[in-house]
Amino acid sequence: MIMDKIITIAVPTYNMEEYLERCLESLLIEDYSLLMNIEVLVINDGSKDCSLKIAHTYETRFPEVFRVIDKANGNWGSCINRAAKEAQGDYFLILDADDWLNTRELENFIKELKTKKEVDMYVYNCLLHNGKRKEPMFLTKMEVGKSYRISDIKAVWDCSFFIHCIALKTDIIRKIHLTEGISYCDVEISIYMFEYVKSFIIYDRLLYDYVVGRPGQSIEFESYIRNLSAIVKIYRRYSKECSCDKEVLYWQQKAIIPFLQIYYQANLLYKTSSLDFYTFKALHEEIHNDLSLWNGICNQSCLKIPYIKIWSLIPLRFPFRILGLLRNKLKR
């Protein structure tokens, strides 16, 4: 008997043989009947190591739960698009292959989903692993278990929604369709989901274990500098597709502003190519004309100096490069 899938867990995988077993093992909850409510899609993105072999091992052991999709390399966004197309679960959760879920909390979460509350999104907590430090992603004063409307929470929720802290209705993730072939398109989920997410529930449990600071991770700053063109493409899409609805636009800007601040930081405080900087200056002219977006970006500071705002008035690059070098020296 094939049970209905309450949730699809998508695991985009590229050369993750060192971490994948830990990731997939964390999904094996003890209650067999609850386990059968889970669909795990391991999307192998053209891995050159043993990731595919490891994934097939779990598919063989638990064919009712695990399914391996092997595809040519197309980057993270192509994995999520493929998983969304194949998903059978009511909700969709993204689990990177170098992270894992708290197995006991996953079992509790499945029980929560089985109550069939009609909401577009669940927001759970995430435990950050940064070397020896461990800390929750967020603390909230919002009532746990209560259904909220997105339009009602500005006063109590002052940040964007991190993709590793949310489970979305699967039909919503299908509608977004991520840009393929580029890095950092996860931010597109945070931007465009608000066209469709109208209600959510806070499930304030530490469900997701998120590793930061791993060598080679795409969130390392050097990786941002190498992939500035991806940030440009993501902004270009945003500038064309951002909502005309003020409530939706508010949350879209919450999502993209930190991302654009990284773009300014990379170009002003670090060494980038002349072509990258030329593109940056042209993009800045567009951003500067969007007053609400610009006001959110330019408040970022370095060593308590609002360098983005100052550069917009005095567009000389050299003093800010010195500021970046000074900051890096003080961080050591």
Nearest CA among 200, 128, 127, 104 for reference residue 161: 200
pLDDT value at residue 218 = 52
Does residue 248 lie within any of the structural domains?
yes
The amino acid occupying position 296 is G
> Do 11 and 86 share a structural domain?
yes
Does residue 2 lie within any of the structural domains?
no
pLDDT value at residue 214 = 65
CA distance 265 to 27: 38
> Do 177 and 38 share a structural domain?
yes
pLDDT value at residue 158 = 64
User: Does residue 220 have a pLDDT over 70?
Assistant: no
Does residue 274 lie within any of the structural domains?
yes
* Inter-axis angle of helices 274-288 and 246-269, nearest 10: 150
pLDDT value at residue 165 = 93
Residue at a domain's end among 212, 229, 254: 212
Ordered DSSP codes for 37-65: TEEEEEEEES-SSSHHHHHHHHHHH-TTT
Does residue 11 lie within any of the structural domains?
yes
Q: What is the CATH number of the domain that holds 163?
A: 3.90.550.10
> Do 234 and 311 share a structural domain?
yes
How do residues 89-139 score in pLDDT, each as one tens digit? Answer: 999 999 999 999 999 999 999 999 999 888 999 999 999 998 778 888 776
How do residues 45-99 score in pLDDT, each as one tens digit? Answer: 999 999 999 999 999 999 999 999 999 999 999 999 999 999 999 999 999 999 9
Lowest pLDDT segment from 38-52, 126-140, 161-175 = 126-140
> Do 184 and 47 share a structural domain?
yes
Does residue 234 lie within any of the structural domains?
yes
> Do 168 and 129 share a structural domain?
yes
How do residues 11-31 score in pLDDT, each as one tens digit? Answer: 999 999 999 999 999 999 999
User: Does residue 156 have a pLDDT over 70?
Assistant: no
Residue at a domain's end among 177, 212, 247: 212
- For the chain, the domain total comes to 2
Burial class (CB in 10 A: 0-12, 13-18, 19+), 129: middle
pLDDT value at residue 1 = 47
Does residue 1 lie within any of the structural domains?
no
How do residues 310-325 score in pLDDT, each as one tens digit? Answer: 999 988 887 777 878 8
> Do 58 and 160 share a structural domain?
yes
> Do 280 and 165 share a structural domain?
no
Residues 6+ apart with CB under 8 A from 313: none
> Do 204 and 62 share a structural domain?
yes
How do residues 243-254 score in pLDDT, each as one tens digit? Answer: 999 999 999 999
> Do 269 and 195 share a structural domain?
no
Q: Which residue has the higher pLDDT, 115 or 170?
A: 170
> Do 251 and 131 share a structural domain?
no
Residue at a domain's end among 212, 234, 253: 212
CA distance 40 to 56: 12
Does residue 196 lie within any of the structural domains?
yes
How do residues 252-289 score in pLDDT, each as one tens digit? Answer: 999 999 999 999 999 898 888 888 889 999 999 999 99
CA distance 24 to 21: 5
Residues 6+ apart with CB under 8 A from 223: 183, 217
> Do 72 and 49 share a structural domain?
yes
pTM of the model: 0.92
Contact 119, 147 (CB under 8 A): yes
Residues 6+ apart with CB under 8 A from 322: none
Six token digits for residue 317: 């690059």
CA distance 261 to 235: 12
Residue 315, domain extent: 221-331
User: Does residue 215 have a pLDDT over 50?
Assistant: yes
Average pLDDT on 164-170 reads 96
> Do 109 and 74 share a structural domain?
yes
pLDDT value at residue 141 = 65
Six token digits for residue 22: 């830990």
